[in-house]
Amino acid sequence: MATNRAVLITGCDSGFGHQLAIECDRLGFHVFAGVLNADLNGAQELTRVCSQRLQVLKMDVTDPTDVVNGIKQIECSGLPLWAVVNNAGIAMNAPIEWGFDVQELNDTFSVNVFGAVRVTKQSLPLLRRSMGRIINISSIAGRTTFNGLCFYSMSKHAIRSFSDGLRKEVENLKIKVITIEPVLYRTPITDWTLMKTTLDRVWDQTPEDVKCVFSDNYRNSFEKSSQRVLKASRNQTKEVIDIIIKAIILKEPQNIYKCGGLLDFLVTFPFPTVNSKQNLQLVWSDEFDDKGLDPNKWQVEDEWLTGNCRGNHIGQLNCNVNQSENLQSRDGCLAITATRHKKKGFNKEYNSAKITTRQSWTYGRFEIRAALPTGKMLRPALYMSPMNSGQWALTGQIDIMTNIQTQSFGNGVHFSASPSIYKPDNYEYFTNASLNDFHTYAIEWSESRVGGIFFPNQVLELSDFYDWECSALILDYIRVYQWTDNQVVHSFNNTDDRTSSLDICLDVIRTNSGVYDDTYPERAKT
């Protein structure tokens, strides 16, 4: 299929473009690799490792002359231009108010948007002849705006709109338009050293009257938050390359491809903001470094009813707790385990555990890093219960994470009287990750909003937990943050029905058939 077909890829100096150029050359395409500087290492490496089919083009997408000359060179080759991959892009991570005027916005749009449009317009005459395709690299940032990456998110949203509009215009010409939306991957655009250099430059260009608004603590918090986000980026860049190759070679590619396993939900990352209400401080935590459960921080429920489960899971079960068996500490973590004692019947057949914080809070950020168990009839849950709720869930229950044997989890808010009205957000784990991996689940709760946060982590750092005999909900840490001007509520008997404690439990539920799996509750081996 690749024989005598040309592919133009912009931004081949490094990252996705560089890897894609090598892969397309390997597949037999005649690759025209657009680079910003043909004398630098990225371009020279392409010449060294690829076949003579690959040609390096100096193509600064912000320079109309470069683009016109590059397209003329492709036309003079006599090869049909089968695909144009608009990959060139930059990212600037800084608050909107920093920098000089709107220079950073201009720079971002000049490359990410105007550059893609410029290359596309010059390529369309050749694509009409070949009935080829245009592949635009957008981002998950085009669907949700990350704090600190506003200009980048704006540009990627613009690319989505550009793709959607162009697709309608060229459909009758048999030209396909495909959008690729990766999540965060480790490429030079996400290199912290380069991002820090850019951040410092933008700060230096910021007017003095604006600098006075931002404290040193704010800047430090912003940098730390940026680094935490980068740590969540994926290493498997080949996932993106494989998707782009599909878009190039498939006869009927999809209009939109998402890379990394995230579907249509919002992923938000915590950054400090100028408003003092957004300045979070740690007010409570348990790192589970001590032996056993700290009785000053937690109370253990002796017995509880697991509640009703809809869908394929129904019924209520009473659970008892044996603290030495169901609450165990190891390697700086706490494990809540579930064990079965009888083969038949449903009443008090299981031991498990439910723990509740002795302190309670109104508003804040509640963050839990945990690995979920494998085993039928298990429902791990992290949620917040109001202290004076009366009838469940009349005054609301905030679910940070609930899971029932699937590769997804939910969070949301229960409200109104029973049957509860539930407004969930459903999340799916990244490709090649699972509920057994350690992830950070969090909720930010303010007077006007409850929002879910998910920090994926593909590395299971404590694999030795897998040789435990029982299924376990493993807790690495729990942290509570509140805004600096918000009154911290510690009263266990507070009369404000918004004051809520944290509840963590591993429920055991029964299925419609009422048949138990004899292998339960063993945890999957890795």
In sign, the C-alpha dihedral spanning 252, 255, 257, 263 is negative
The C-alpha atoms of residue 119 and residue 302 are separated, in whole angstroms, by: 67
Query: Helices (H) and strands (E) in the chain — how many of each?
Result: 11, 26
- The residue to which tokens 């493993």 are assigned: 474
Q: H or E element: which one contains 326?
A: helix 323-326
The C-alpha atoms of residue 162 and residue 244 are separated, in whole angstroms, by: 18
The amino acid that residue 294 corresponds to is D
Q: Are 282 and 480 in contact (CB under 8 A)?
A: yes
Residue 212 region by backbone torsions, left for phi larger than 0, else alpha for psi between -120 and 50, else beta: alpha
Class of residue 111 by CB neighbours under 10 A (exposed 0-12, middle 13-18, buried 19+): buried
Tokens of 285: 């935590």
| Packed helices 41-49 and 15-26: angle between N→C axes, nearest 10 degrees | 10
SS in 3 state form for 199-253? HHHHHHCCCHHHHCCCCHHHHHHHHHHHHHHHHCCECCCHHHHHHHHHHHHCCCC
Q: Are 414 and 385 in contact (CB under 8 A)?
A: no
**Which residues are identified as catalytic?**
152
The C-alpha atoms of residue 314 and residue 169 are separated, in whole angstroms, by: 51
Which stretches does DSSP call E strand in 64-173? 81-86, 133-137
The C-alpha atoms of residue 83 and residue 281 are separated, in whole angstroms, by: 50
Q: What are phi and psi of 139, to 5 degrees?
A: -170, 160
Sheet holding 176-182: strands in order across?
55-58, 30-35, 6-9, 81-86, 133-137, 176-182, 256-259
